[in-house]
């Protein structure tokens, strides 16, 4: 009897804890409820309610704080059924907007994509298709989540701030023409990249050419024409010996002249 009571007690405790465990379990990522590309150009009109009781949530997960310019920044778009009833259908909306730091009012080209079956596709803008809703969930069971991988990048090497917006809506099965929606937002920055990493050596610069003419002519190159030689003046007088002989002859002549003058004067004095 004691053993049977223990078994009954254990079964009773397990049954009592089962709802608690179910409520405490985190939402599952539903592989059977993928976000599919939306196939309607215009969503059905509805009187949208954004306050409680909204049984769905949306968020961006793993958004990077910053991304280098022209490189992809990836993150996850997640929708969760927070209620107790299946939701059908659920429309998923997303938008990315980038504002350049150097020209906040000017254009700033960028790409915004989401992944479908391993293939990246553009996320349409509100004015392009389905009011900016890119995906649809045919049915989302209670407590389950569905995800889509997304990415964004700039097309120019400029710094900017990026705003992400998300919204999901679902129709109220009990009230015709009524729908519920919830929103979320996130952000990151795009940083321009420089021409080189800090500490990289700089290229040496060539010195400016000196425009002052040089006093020394530059040496002639191998292609320069040879200069015409000056005419040969002939052998030097020192080479012929004329200079020495002429000096001796001039000295002897001077002595003879002086001697002759002296003899003439002496003769004239004697005749007197």
pLDDT of residue 127: 74
Percent of the chain's residues with pLDDT above 70: 59
Q: What is the pLDDT of residue 272?
A: 39
Q: In this predicted model, what pLDDT tens digit does every residue of 148-158 receive, in sequence order?
A: 999 999 999 99
CB 199 within 8 A of CB 221: no
pLDDT at 257 exceeding the cut of 50: no
Alpha-carbon distance of 226 to 67, in angstroms, equals: 68
DSSP 243-260: HHHHHHHHHHHHHHHHHH
Mean pLDDT across 56-71: 97
Which is more confident, 241 or 178? Answer: 178
Digit-coded pLDDT (tens) for 19-56: 433 344 444 544 547 899 998 878 888 887 877 678 99
Tokens representing residue 64 in the block = 């990077």
Q: Are 88 and 138 in contact (CB under 8 A)?
A: yes
Which tokens belong to 261? 């003058």
The conformation of residue 25, written as its DSSP 8-state character, comes to S
Q: If you count them, how many residues does the chain have?
A: 272
Spatial separation of the C-alpha atoms in residues 217 and 224, rounded to whole Å: 13
Which pair of structure tokens corresponds to residue 26? Answer: 């985190």
Please give the mean pLDDT across all residues of the chain.
Answer: 73
Task: Round to whole Å and give the CA distance between 182 and 166.
Answer: 8
The pLDDT of residue 17 is above 50: no
* pLDDT at residue 151, as a whole number: 98
- Whether 168 has a pLDDT exceeding 50, the answer reads yes
Cα 28 vs. chain centroid, distance in angstroms?
A: 38
pLDDT 10s digits, 92-111: 999 999 999 999 999 999 99
**What is the Cα–Cα distance from 167 to 123, expressed in whole angstroms?**
13
Encode 9-29: b = buried (16+ Cβ within 10 Å), e = exposed.
eeeeeeeeeeeeeeeeeebee
Q: State the pLDDT confidence band at 261, using cuts at 50, 70 and 90.
A: very low
Cis link prior to 126 (omega < 30° from 0)?
no
Among the listed residues 196, 108, 95, 195, the one whose alpha carbon sits nearest the alpha carbon of residue 154: 108
- Token output for 179: 């729908």
Give the tens place of pLDDT for each residue, 123-138: 988 877 888 899 999 9
Verdict on whether the full-model pTM lies above 0.85: no
Residue 55 in 3-state DSSP? coil
More confident residue, 202 or 42: 42
CA distance linking residue 113 with residue 152, whole number of Å:
6
Maximal CA-CA distance, the chain:
200
* CA–CA gap between residue 87 and residue 171 (Å, rounded): 8
The owner of tokens 């992809």 is: 72
The residue among 171 and 235 whose pLDDT is bigger is 171
Task: Give the DSSP letter of residue 81.
Answer: E
Fold of 39-191: Immunoglobulin-like (2.60.40)
For residue 209, what pLDDT is reported? 54
Lowest mean pLDDT among 80-84, 143-147, 208-212: 208-212
CA distance 8 to 194: 72
């Amino acid at each position: 009897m004691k053993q049977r009571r223990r078994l009954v007690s254990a079964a009773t405790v397990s049954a009592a804890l089962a709802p608690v465990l179910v409520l405490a379990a985190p939402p599952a990522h539903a592989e059977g409820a993928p976000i599919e590309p939306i196939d309607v150009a215009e969503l059905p009109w509805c009187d949208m309610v954004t306050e409680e009781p909204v049984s769905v949530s949306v968020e961006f997960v793993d958004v990077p704080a910053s991304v280098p310019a022209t490189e992809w920044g990836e993150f996850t778009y997640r929708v969760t059924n927070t209620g107790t009833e299946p939701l059908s259908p659920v429309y998923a909306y997303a938008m990315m907007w980038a504002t350049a730091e150097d020209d906040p009012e000017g254009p700033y080209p960028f790409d915004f994509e989401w992944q479908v079956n391993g293939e990246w596709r553009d996320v349409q803008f509100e004015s392009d298709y389905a009011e900016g809703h890119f995906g649809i969930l045919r049915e989302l069971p209670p407590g389950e989540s569905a995800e889509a991988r997304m990415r964004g990048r700039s097309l120019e090497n400029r710094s900017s701030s990026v705003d992400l917006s998300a919204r999901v809506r679902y129709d109220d099965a009990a009230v015709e023409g009524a729908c519920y929606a919830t929103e979320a937002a996130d952000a990151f920055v795009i940083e321009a990249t420089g021409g080189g990493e800090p500490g990289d050596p700089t290229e040496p610069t060539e010195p400016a050419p000196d425009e002052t003419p040089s006093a020394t002519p530059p040496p002639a190159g191998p292609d320069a024409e040879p200069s015409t030689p000056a005419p040969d003046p002939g052998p030097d007088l020192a080479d012929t010996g004329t200079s020495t002989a002429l000096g001796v002859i001039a000295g002897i002549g001077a002595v003879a002249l002086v001697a002759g003058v002296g003899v003439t004067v002496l003769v004239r004095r004697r005749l007197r």
